[in-house]
Amino acid sequence: MKRQVRSKGIAGIVTLLSLALVLVGLLYDSPSKAAKVTLSALVWEGYTDKSFTKVFEEKYGAEVKGTYVGGMDEFFAKVKAGGASAYDLVALSSNLPKRMIDADLVEPVNLKNIPNYNDIFEFFRNLEYNKKDGNVYGVNYTWGPDPVTYRTDVFDSCPSWDIFKDPKYKGKLSVPGEDNTAVYQAGILLGYNPYSMDKGKLEEAKKLLVEWRPQIRAFWSTAGELTNLIANKEVVASISWPLITSDLKKQGVPVAECIPDPATSGWIDQWMVVKGTKNKDMAEKWINFAISPEGQVAVHRVTTYFVVNPNAAALMTPEEKVFTHIDDPNYIVEASKKIMWWEPVQNEDEYNEVRQAFKTAQ
């Protein structure tokens, strides 16, 4: 009898120990099961703004962490150095996708996981620069020009490109310093395709930019930097981004923006997935959200950039519809007549040399 009681006692103890081990196992498993997926994104400023990432985070139980960059070279260098261990996503402009694809730094997206792709304007779906072997690597997101932002208490109307050569504005102007936008603009003003200039044409571009140098107060690298320069009236006009004009207006600074004749450079930004990311499913959910009507309206309200999904019109104010021309599918075609879209540059090192010579000219 004692043996029976003892065996039952041992059995009970074993059962309790087993339950305890199960509970301990659940406790240790719970954090990993409940842990949020963190999407790390390398982006232009404004593309992971908390005003809209929190909507995605609450819906999918994920976290979106953005790292802002100031120039194209930084995108390529950081992804090449860190890869999927550092980033899941990149949001970059139209002159980089081919380079990223050829360097095997990004991978195709699965369009079955991005149903909103079918809703974006046909113009953007038909572009080939972010595709390879029938696969889509980049999902277009926003677009816009590189305008001139100017203080309206200094200029009565849109200034011409000639102000960059005018001693009257010595030390009062600015251009981007971390990419080749100024080199592109010099090419445009010389009448060349700004993305395919050889050494001779680049030498001409350098001569023009050296004429600009005395007027340059600073070479800006982030939107916040230029915003402060213009707000403090250290700079009265600059090659800029629409985001900067918007931020200045929110601060009550008297500014406007324009595209002086004959044209300016411009960009089409897209989301791409870094090759080897362990979070590809969540990354594609983010891309689908980013080009949804809700995501598109949200990013426009932060940046004022033009968007790619016409269904966003249903969520826009009448003023936003007019500003973005969202109801006019031909507007992007018309805009292309005055915007020369960023393209891959084969001899990029030579362009970089011109930019550096411009920055260091006396």
- b (16+ CB within 10 A) / e for 13-49: eeeeeeeeeeeeeeeeeeeeeeeebebbbbbbbbbbb
Is the CB of residue 205 less than 8 Å from the CB of residue 186?
yes
**% of the chain at pLDDT higher than 70:** 90
The dihedral through the CA atoms of 156, 158, 162, 165 has a sign that is positive
Residue range 130-181, pLDDT digits in tens: 999 999 999 999 999 999 999 999 999 999 999 999 999 999 999 999 999 9
Spatial neighbors of 203 by CB under 8 A, at least 6 apart, are none
- Please give the helix or strand (H or E) that residue 136 lies within, else none: strand 135-136
Nearest residue to 308 (alpha-carbon basis) of 331, 285, 342: 331
- Please give the helix or strand (H or E) that residue 331 lies within, else none: helix 331-335
Determine the Cα–Cα distance for residues 20 and 14; give it in Å rounded to an integer. 10
Maximum alpha-carbon separation in the chain? 110
Nearest residue to 284 (alpha-carbon basis) of 116, 168, 110: 110
Question: Quick one: pLDDT at residue 72?
Answer: 78
Q: The whole model's pTM is what?
A: 0.80
Determine the Cα–Cα distance for residues 52 and 326; give it in Å rounded to an integer. 20
Is the CB of residue 277 less than 8 Å from the CB of residue 79?
no
Q: Which of 71-80, 185-194, 235-244, 279-288 has the lowest average pLDDT?
A: 71-80
The helix/strand/coil state of 108 is: coil
What is the set of domains in the chain, with CATH numbers? 37-144+267-337 (3.40.190.10), 145-265+343-360 (3.40.190.10)
Determine the Cα–Cα distance for residues 61 and 58; give it in Å rounded to an integer. 5
Q: Which string of DSSP letters, residue by residue, matches 40-107?
A: EEEE-TTTT-HHHHHHHHHHHTEEEEEEE-SSHHHHHHHHHHHGGGT-SEEEE-TTSHHHHHHTT-EE
Residue 11 in this model has a pLDDT that exceeds 60: no
Q: Which of 11-15, 329-333, 342-346 has the lowest average pLDDT?
A: 11-15
The helix/strand/coil state of 339 is: strand
Token pair for residue 282?
Answer: 């969540």
Residue range 290-339, pLDDT digits in tens: 999 999 999 999 999 999 999 999 999 999 998 899 999 889 999 888 99
Residue range 70-84, pLDDT digits in tens: 877 889 999 999 999
Residue 119 in this model has a pLDDT that exceeds 70: yes
